[in-house]
Structure 1
Amino acid sequence: MDFFQSQESLSAFEWILRAVVAFIFLVIVAKVLGQRAISQLRLLDFVIALVIGNIIAHPLSDEQLGLKGSVITTTVLVCLYLAGIFMILKWPWFRRQVTHPPITIVQNGEILYKGLKKARISLDVLLEELREKAVKDVKTVALAVWEADGRISFFLDPKYEPITPAILQMETEPFDLPRTIIKEGKINYEELQQTKRDEAWVTTRLERLYQIEVKNVLLATLNAKDNLKVFLYK
């Protein structure tokens, strides 16, 4: 177990053993901490992001440390990470060990306290997530699920869903993303070309509608119907 102790130098094999043990240890620790502790990163992503930068930073900032250990350790960790991803895709039983299954925390307008405890989130966190999703009342939620990446997915009861043209069987126009033709007082010629207009058309339109020059425009957009929207410096 020499690789486990502090030494002036380690063999390549001992560096590999140290990396494997550290990787497994961090996976276990992250698993115990729970998904909320590692935010919206997947378990293996969190582990690899946590250690790689730290491993490389030390030899770069300390002239007494060589790069051998860092290079070997980083290579081993990357291989372990890729192997872990492969195992997640290949074997469902392994996927269940490292990826939390979705947990129902609200169902038919009722908060499931057991679900909150299992997901290790407080009632305050649930209410905060509801506010962020602009959900005013828990009773309007048909289903809320805690996802494996730490997010909470909300599904409103159909009778509280916003009315859409599809529900009313109304015809709608095709989606049209306005082009940004002026930004910070400069014409975006590439975008302008897509609208099949030229600089003269833009300057004339600005003078006629707003009595301003291009340099005074913070942002201007143009859609397929030639609707020009202008935002000035304030």
Structure 2
Amino acid sequence: MDIPQWLNIIIRSSILVFILFLLTKWLGKKQLSHLSFFEYIAGITIGSIAAEVSTGLETNFFHGIYSLLVWTAIPFFAGMLAIKSKKARNIIEGKSTVVIKDGKIQEETLTKEKYSVDELLELLRKKNAFQVADVEFAVLESNGDLNVLLKKEKQPLTPADLQMDVAPEKVPQTVILEGEIVDSALAASGFTRAWLDVELQKLNVAIDNVFVGQIDTYGKLTVDIFDDKIKLPQSKPRQSLLTALKKCQADFESYALQTDSAEAKDMYNRNAKKLQNIIKKSQYLLNE
């Protein structure tokens, strides 16, 4: 039974997509980002071969697969050789070149790299460098990226310049995703579901309405809700303080009920009453 051409094309294409996926995974993530000359050439050729094998029904399918394997092996082994030898790496991947030094464009280098002044200025603007004279060094990397070092007086001030100690930044944790709590991220941030409930109450948002909720370095919860037309309430520091005091009081009362130690129970109850008195005396100041 002969397979219809349209079905044959679908089957060939499906198989090739799977094979290309495996071959690309074998080459590694570099093939998806910074391409060497070999990888650039191989990528174009592999795509052309795959297209021909998919639609060229008169050609032998397995001959195309063999060709794909060869063209995948070339950049793979070239990359392995580049890792082993710096000389080979310079030939295969190219070398970085200085195109601006001490605020002056290196015209010969720029011409050698086949870049025009306009293209260089465009790359500089992408690095927030709008004047050549402000640049100490500009290096054109082998993958075509331009890295720029501004002159010292043109660099923005940093806490280190002012001899200031700053707390290290932490990775923001996504604790709510499409209305569901991500417990692993919540635990990594050092908070609990009870804390999350209090923060959502401050924002007057139900968890089912939260598309994405994240905790930043300083422990602040920010949310993006499904309905963008709904306006989130502005942060009210005094109201937040009142809520925090009430939560502390509730925690003390809860601890008192949970402990079997008479001494601890008395301590929790005393502190809960102290907080209750503080809240009663200051509530008119904290209500906004």
Shared fold (TM-score, shorter chain, > 0.5): yes
Quote the offset at 1:97 in angstroms. Answer: 3.4
Question: How far apart are 1:68 and its partner, in Å?
Answer: 3.2
Q: Is the 2:169–2:217 contact (alpha carbons within 8 Å) kept by the matching residues of 1? A: no
Pick closer, same or farther for the CA change 1:191–1:88 going to 2, 3 Å.
closer
Please list, as runs of the form range in 1=range in 2, the aligned pairs for 1:31-180 lying within 5 A after superposition: 40-180=34-174
Match of residue 191 from structure 2: 197
* Contact 1:40 1:151 (C-alpha < 8 Å) held by counterparts: no
Which residue number in structure 1 is paired with residue 175 of structure 2? 181
Cα distance per residue 1:17-75 (max 9 Å; x no partner): xxxxxxxxxxxxxxxxxxxxxx9521011111111232133223232211232133223
SS in structure 2 opposite 1:221?
strand
Which structure's relative contact order is higher, taking Cα pairs within 8 Å and 6+ residues apart? Answer: 1
Corresponding residue SS for 2:137: strand
- Aligned partner of 1:69: which letter? H
What does residue 229 of structure 1 align with?
222
Q: Which moved more, 1:147-156 or 1:98-107?
A: 98-107
**Larger deviation, residues 62-71 vs 163-172:** 62-71
Select which of 192, 207, 212 maps to 1:214: 207
Per the normalisation by structure 1, the TM-score is 0.72
Higher helix share: 2
C-alpha deviation, 1:173, in angstroms: 0.9
User: What is the distance in 1 between the residues matched to 2:85 and 2:196?
Assistant: 59
Aligned ranges for residues 11-50 of structure 1 at < 5 Å?
40-50=34-44
Alignment match, 1:21? none
- For 1:149 and 1:187, the matched residues in 2 are separated by 41
Q: 1:12 corresponds to which residue?
A: none
In our comparison, the structure showing a higher alpha carbon Rg is 2
State the aligned residue count: 195
The AA in structure 1 aligned to 2:215 is L
Distance 1:100 1:230, change over 3 A: same
1:3 matched residue in structure 2: none
Q: Percent identity?
A: 26
Q: Mark the CA change 1:180 to 1:72 in structure 2 (over 3 Å): closer, same or farther.
A: closer
Alpha carbons of structure 1 residues 80 and 178: separation in structure 2 relative to 1, 3 Å: closer
Contact persistence 2:134–2:150 (CA under 8 A): yes
Distance 1:181 1:108, change over 3 A: same
Q: CA deviation at 1:116?
A: 1.6
Q: Secondary structure of 1:85's partner?
A: helix
* Structure 2 gap segments, 5+ residues each: 1-32, 229-288
Runs (5+) with no aligned partner, structure 1: 1-38
Secondary structure of the corresponding residue to residue 100 of structure 2: strand
Given the superposition, is the C-alpha separation of residues 82 and 176 from structure 1 closer, same or farther in structure 2, using an over 3 Å criterion? closer
Cα separation, 2, equivalents of 1:58 and 1:178: 46
Alpha-carbon distance in 2 for matches of 1:177, 1:94? 38
Q: Which runs of 4+ in 1 moved over 6 A?
A: none
Q: 1:203, 1:156 → 2: CA distance?
A: 47
TM-superposed deviation, 1:152: 1.2
TM-score by length of 2: 0.60
Aligned CA-pair RMSD: 2.5
The match for 1:30 is none
